[in-house]
């Protein structure tokens, strides 16, 4: 039996070898499991390594869940274009497009806790390897054997152990389950004590270690945070060489830092998606003090619901609403926080002295005796001029003050303007009051004003006040609009300072700019920022939304976000079958878009100032589709790939006084001496001397072999050349006054004419014999900053006040007033956009709206659309109907379906 049992127990050699390998693997797995289990429990807490006195603390329990969604956000890509992060942009794009994002192992590896903190000038990050701690502990032993790291890493040591230095600002160390990164060697050494949790109070430690309800937690030490912002502001001021004196922000922070709570922590909430942006900061204050600092007195005043807010009609596009206190208390605070170079105190004292002399009234009584505790600046849809509103606390006192100052021979109130049945007085603001306002960046030298419902409204534009009066009778309020409610869902109506913006048709001042934050906010084109004070807590909240524009029908793939600012000029290639559109960005790059394939092109041309479409003949001869000219007169001819054509660039040596233009296939540059420099498609250069004595200020008009320009000045006039021979042989055609732009050339009844309107509204029409067409000149009401355009036998003009005129060659005119539209700057574009009989007229002004009209002055369907500058019309979706391309105020190329 024993022999039989032994035979049964004895296994074949091959099986025994397999079992041996299995046992070895099993033992190895058990050892690894024991090692990883040991490493998981033998750990260092993140808070032990985190130095105290941070400004901002951030924690996430999963880097993957927090960071991975950010890769697909437009806002993140914009942030990567900022100077601070630009060097990481290429790496970011590689990570964003990497297949590793779909890797299970990468996802698992990045589901780790990360604690990070920002200090004064430095930062630290602490990664907890968690279950992967066993692998993290082995890394230090493997680093010396990795050849690729040889020469890159420097191993150093201090009293707490070894650490690694990658470059002058990157240090890291491995400690059990932690991988610690720092930008500062001393900060890393502080972390390596692994005893920092003893330095935190019980409340702070609890706030740092509490279970997360959201993917990300951000805490801040109020005093350190504000000091950090203060230092950033100081560094920025030094870099910009703006100050040797404290800034307003620094003065404000110095005023409130001493009154931050010692026992509570600043909380930050942050959320961002492709459609929503939310940021909230709550700063506990210690206002139980007898300190009489004016800023602190404002902070002690709890926020209320501004009474002006419910009065805003739905056509209010943006507002800044202040309800922090009386004008007196705001003035006292301003005296404390405005930088010294503003010298506001001196300006106030001088103005007060003048007020006492002129009106026998101190400035305090003049301004404070009747004003309340609410003030606002807001904009009406389509209007460039803002409205200023002041709450009237004592109407009887206001009437007394106004009667007193208007009775002075130094100040007049003009009551003659009557608009839509509303009488609007216009007052010439006294110089001493204007100087105080200008010190606060408020410029209203000659405002109209309206008293209504307990508020004084002032604006340079009387149409604004008419709109306010009309809006008071309208049941539709801003607070009931979809956009306002969308960005107010997490807000309360209580506020001390409130800002609201809507980029659909106008861009408020606080979103303009080229900074990364401005660009990110521009993505979320409707937003609300509120500062409120409640129960001694100062809260700041920004809620913004990417609102779909309602004013146009967007083509799929649009709008296209532009990285840099443009001059709002789109150029269409004239090459046969080409679908390329060109534009400039930042005076440094020429950009292209193929409207067929949506392929983008870009080339850097330093100091490039102008681009002009080359003629079809030029494109056929050498593939040159676009002329590009720099500020110094260097001329490029670029093909569709934005490559320079052989033989270019050419140094013209011309100092230009106006944009270049194309005449008979050649590019023409106008010099400051009135000489025209012609550059042919083959690169030949020739010159032609005109009769202009004062130079040419606007690009000449070209019609076939006719070339005409306006020599600006009281003694200038219209010069006309045919095949470079002067048509106006007896001198330029005279205009009585100053005009803008270039002559309008047209043919009527087989005869050639030129037309031009002066700034004062005198419209001249000359034939080429120098004879005025009867009954011209005719006068149009308004101020004109651009010349007329011809369409379907009529001349069309646009005044700065937004009045659109059609003038026949018989001198008869008709006009329409475009609501909430001004055109101190703007363009008139004439083209046949629908392929039907007749031409259409497209106009843009100071706002973000493009209007379209037919020659009967009827507005075209689906207009206005968002945009400014010149529109282009291209079939973008293959339906054989042109779509409207335009650049918008928020720096995008928008495409709208305007033909159905």
Between CA 330 and CA 199 the distance in angstroms is: 40
Q: Is the dihedral of CA 397, 399, 400, 405 positive or negative?
A: positive
> pLDDT, tens digit, for every residue of 309-334?
999 988 888 888 988 888 888 877 77
Q: What is the DSSP string of 199-240?
A: GS-HHHHHHHHSPPSSS-EEEE-HHHHHHHHHHHHHHHHHHT
Task: Name the percent of the chain in helix, strand, coil, to the closest 5.
Answer: 25, 30, 40
User: How open is the CA angle 410-415-421, to the nearest 5 degrees?
Assistant: 165
Residue 259 binned pLDDT confidence (cut-offs 50, 70, 90): low
Q: What pLDDT does residue 507 have? A: 59
**What mean pLDDT is reported for the chain?**
81
Cβ atoms of 744 and 830 closer than 8 Å: no
Q: What pLDDT does residue 550 have? A: 42
Q: Which of 831, 833, 840 is nearest to 883 (CA)?
A: 833
Please report where in the chains the tokens 């080359």 appear, as a residue: 614
Show the tokens assigned to 99: 């297949």
Residue 490: how many CB atoms within 10 A of its CB? 13
Helix (H) or strand (E) holding 841: strand 840-844
> pLDDT, tens digit, for every residue of 632-691?
889 999 999 999 988 889 888 888 888 999 999 999 999 888 889 999 988 899 999 888
Cis peptide before 777 (omega within 30 of 0): yes
Q: What pLDDT does residue 838 have? A: 87
Per-residue CA distances from 631 to 371, 605, 634, 711 (Å): 52, 11, 7, 22
Beta bridge partners of 391: 455
Mean pLDDT on 118-142: 85
- Which has more confidence, 355 or 603? 603
Q: What pLDDT does residue 341 have? A: 62
Burial of 560-590, coded b for 16+ CB within 10 Å and e otherwise, reads eebeebbebebbbbbbeebbbbbbbbebebb
Mean pLDDT on 578-602: 86
Mean pLDDT on 550-567: 70
Is the pLDDT at 339 greater than 70? The verdict is no
Q: What pLDDT does residue 421 have? A: 63
Q: What pLDDT does residue 240 have? A: 41
Residue 75 binned pLDDT confidence (cut-offs 50, 70, 90): confident
Residue 795 binned pLDDT confidence (cut-offs 50, 70, 90): very high
> pLDDT, tens digit, for every residue of 11-29?
676 666 667 777 787 888 8
Q: Give the lowest-confidence range in 247-261, 696-710, 724-738, 824-838.
A: 247-261
- Which has more confidence, 442 or 158? 158
Q: Give the lowest-confidence range in 153-157, 736-740, 776-780.
A: 153-157
- Which has more confidence, 267 or 235? 267
pTM of the model: 0.53
Residue 134 — φ and ψ, nearest 5°?
-60, -40
Write out the E strands in 477-632.
497-502, 526-534, 537-545, 560-561, 571-572, 580-585, 589-594, 600-604, 608-613, 626-630
> pLDDT, tens digit, for every residue of 749-764?
889 999 999 999 999 9
Is the pLDDT at 778 greater than 90? The verdict is yes
Cβ neighbours of residue 833 closer than 8 Å, sequence gap 6 or more: 840, 842, 852, 873, 882, 884, 898, 899
Q: What pLDDT does residue 701 have? A: 94
Mean pLDDT on 803-824: 90
Cβ atoms of 107 and 114 closer than 8 Å: no
> pLDDT, tens digit, for every residue of 170-224?
888 898 888 999 988 899 999 999 988 888 878 778 878 888 777 777 887 766 6
Beta bridge partners of 667: 662, 679
Cβ atoms of 865 and 848 closer than 8 Å: no
Distance of CA 377 to the CA centre of its chain: 19
Between CA 501 and CA 516 the distance in angstroms is: 18
Mean pLDDT on 785-809: 94
Percentage of residues in the chain with pLDDT exceeding 70?
A: 81
Q: Which of 771, 805, 774 is nearest to 787 (CA)?
A: 805
Cβ atoms of 138 and 121 closer than 8 Å: no
Show the tokens assigned to 405: 């100052």
- Which has more confidence, 170 or 287? 170
Per-residue CA distances from 191 to 44, 167, 203, 662 (Å): 12, 19, 21, 67
Q: What pLDDT does residue 573 have? A: 92
Q: Which of 534, 543, 542, 527 is nearest to 283 (CA)?
A: 534
Q: What pLDDT does residue 10 have? A: 67
Count of alpha carbons within 13 angstroms of residue 327, beta-carbon side: 19
Q: Give the lowest-confidence range in 78-87, 104-113, 694-703, 832-841.
A: 78-87
Q: What pLDDT does residue 29 have? A: 85
Show the tokens assigned to 194: 């692994």
Cβ atoms of 404 and 358 closer than 8 Å: no
Mean pLDDT on 151-159: 82
Every domain of the chain and the residues it spans: 36-62+112-220, 69-111, 301-480
Show the tokens assigned to 164: 């690694």
Q: Give the lowest-confidence range in 60-74, 207-221, 261-275, 301-315.
A: 261-275
> pLDDT, tens digit, for every residue of 515-556?
666 667 777 878 888 888 888 788 888 888 886 544 335 666
Per-residue CA distances from 190 to 194, 480, 709 (Å): 8, 54, 73
Q: What pLDDT does residue 238 have? A: 40
Is the pLDDT at 354 greater than 80? The verdict is no
Residue 590 binned pLDDT confidence (cut-offs 50, 70, 90): very high
Q: Which of 854, 851, 853, 855 is nearest to 868 (CA)?
A: 851
Mean pLDDT on 715-733: 86
Residue 811 binned pLDDT confidence (cut-offs 50, 70, 90): very high
Is the pLDDT at 379 greater than 70? The verdict is yes
Q: What pLDDT does residue 551 have? A: 38
Show the tokens assigned to 233: 């502001």
């Amino acid at each position: 039996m024993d022999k039989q049992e032994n035979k049964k127990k004895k296994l074949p050699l091959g099986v025994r070898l397999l079992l041996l390998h299995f046992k070895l693997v099993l033992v190895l797995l058990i050892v690894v499991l024991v090692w990883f289990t040991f490493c998981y429990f033998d750990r260092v807490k993140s808070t032990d390594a985190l130095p105290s006195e941070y400004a901002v603390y951030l924690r996430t329990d999963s880097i993957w869940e927090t960071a991975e969604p950010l890769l697909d956000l437009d806002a993140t890509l914009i942030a990567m274009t900022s100077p601070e992060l630009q060097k990481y942009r290429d790496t970011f794009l590689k990570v964003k497009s990497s297949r590793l994002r779909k890797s299970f192992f990468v996802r698992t590896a990045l589901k780790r806790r990360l604690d990070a903190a920002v200090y004064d000038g430095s930062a630290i990050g602490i990664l907890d390897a968690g279950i992967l701690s066993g692998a993290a502990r082995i890394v230090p032993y493997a680093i010396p054997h990795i050849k690729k790291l040889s020469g890159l890493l420097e191993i150093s040591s201090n009293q707490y152990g070894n650490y690694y230095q990658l470059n002058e600002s990157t240090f890291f160390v491995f400690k059990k389950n932690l991988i610690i990164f720092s930008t500062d060697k001393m900060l890393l050494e502080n972390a390596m004590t692994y005893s920092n949790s003893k330095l935190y109070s019980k409340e702070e430690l609890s706030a740092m270690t509490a279970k997360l309800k959201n993917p990300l937690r951000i805490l801040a030490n109020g005093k350190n945070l504000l000091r950090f912002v203060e230092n950033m502001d100081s560094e920025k001021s030094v870099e910009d060489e703006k100050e040797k004196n404290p800034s307003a922000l620094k003065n404000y922070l110095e005023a409130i830092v001493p009154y931050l709570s010692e026992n509570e922590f600043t909380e930050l909430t942050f959320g961002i998606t492709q459609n929503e942006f939310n940021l909230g900061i709550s700063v506990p204050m210690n206002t139980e003090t007898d300190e009489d600092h004016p800023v602190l007195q404002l902070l002690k005043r709890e926020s209320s619901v501004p009474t002006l807010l419910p009065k805003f009609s739905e056509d209010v596009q943006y507002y800044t609403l202040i309800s922090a206190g009386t004008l007196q208390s705001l003035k006292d605070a301003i005296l404390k926080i405005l930088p010294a170079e503003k010298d506001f105190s001196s300006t106030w004292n001088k103005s007060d002295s003048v007020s006492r002399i002129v009106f026998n009234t101190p400035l305090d009584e003049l301004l404070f005796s009747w004003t309340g505790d609410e003030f606002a600046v807001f904009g009406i849809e389509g209007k460039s001029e803002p409205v200023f509103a002041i709450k009237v606390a004592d109407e009887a006192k206001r009437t007394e003050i106004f009667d007193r100052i208007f009775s002075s021979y130094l100040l007049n109130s003009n009551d003659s303007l009557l608009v839509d049945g509303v009488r609007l007085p216009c007052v010439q603001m006294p110089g001493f009051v204007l100087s105080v306002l200008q010190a606060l960046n408020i410029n209203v030298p000659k405002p109209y004003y309206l008293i209504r419902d307990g508020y004084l409204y002032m604006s340079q534009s009387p149409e604004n006040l008419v709109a306010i009066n009309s809006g008071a009778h309208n049941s539709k309020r801003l607070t009931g609009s979809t956009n306002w409610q969308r960005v107010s869902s997490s807000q309360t109506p209580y506020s001390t300072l409130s800002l609201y913006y809507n980029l659909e048709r106008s861009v408020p001042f606080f979103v303009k700019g080229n900074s990364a934050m401005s660009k990110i906010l521009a993505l979320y084109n409707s937003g609300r920022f509120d500062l409120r004070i409640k129960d001694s807590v100062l809260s700041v909240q920004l809620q913004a939304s990417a609102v779909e524009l309602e004013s146009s029908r967007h083509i799929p793939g649009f709008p296209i976000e532009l990285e840099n600012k443009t001059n709002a000029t789109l150029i269409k290639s004239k090459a046969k079958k080409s679908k390329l559109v060109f534009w400039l960005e930042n005076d440094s790059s020429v950009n292209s878009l193929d409207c067929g394939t949506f392929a983008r092109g870009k080339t850097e041309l330093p100091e490039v100032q102008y681009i002009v479409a080359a003629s079809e003949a030029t494109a056929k001869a050498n593939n040159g589709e676009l002329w590009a000219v720099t500020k110094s007169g260097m001329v490029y001819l670029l093909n569709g790939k934005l490559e320079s054509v052989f033989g270019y660039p050419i140094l013209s040596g011309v100092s230009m006084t106006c944009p270049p233009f194309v005449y008979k296939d050649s590019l023409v540059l106008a010099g400051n001496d009135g000489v025209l420099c012609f550059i042919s498609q083959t690169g030949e250069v020739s010159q032609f001397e005109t009769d202009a004595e004062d130079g040419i200020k606007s690009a000449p008009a070209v019609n076939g072999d006719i070339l005409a320009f306006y020599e600006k000045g009281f003694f200038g006039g219209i010069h006309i050349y045919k095949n470079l021979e002067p048509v106006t042989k007896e001198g330029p055609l005279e205009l009585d006054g100053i005009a803008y732009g270039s002559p309008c050339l047209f043919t009527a009844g087989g005869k050639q004419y030129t037309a031009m309107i002066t700034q004062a509204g005198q419209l001249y029409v000359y034939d080429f014999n120098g004879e005025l067409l009867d009954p011209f000149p005719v006068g149009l009401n308004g101020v004109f900053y651009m010349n007329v355009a011809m369409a379907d036998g009529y001349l069309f003009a646009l005044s700065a006040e937004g009045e659109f005129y059609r003038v026949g060659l018989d001198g008869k005119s008709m006009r329409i007033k475009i609501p909430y539209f001004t055109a101190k700057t703007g363009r008139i574009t004439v083209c046949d956009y629908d392929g039907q009989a007749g031409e259409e007229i497209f106009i843009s002004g100071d706002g973000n709206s493009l209007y379209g009209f037919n020659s009967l002055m009827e507005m075209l369907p689906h207009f206005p659309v968002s945009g400014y500058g010149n529109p282009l019309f291209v079939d973008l979706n293959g339906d054989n109907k042109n779509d409207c391309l335009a650049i918008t105020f928020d720096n995008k190329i928008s495409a709208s379906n305007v033909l159905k």
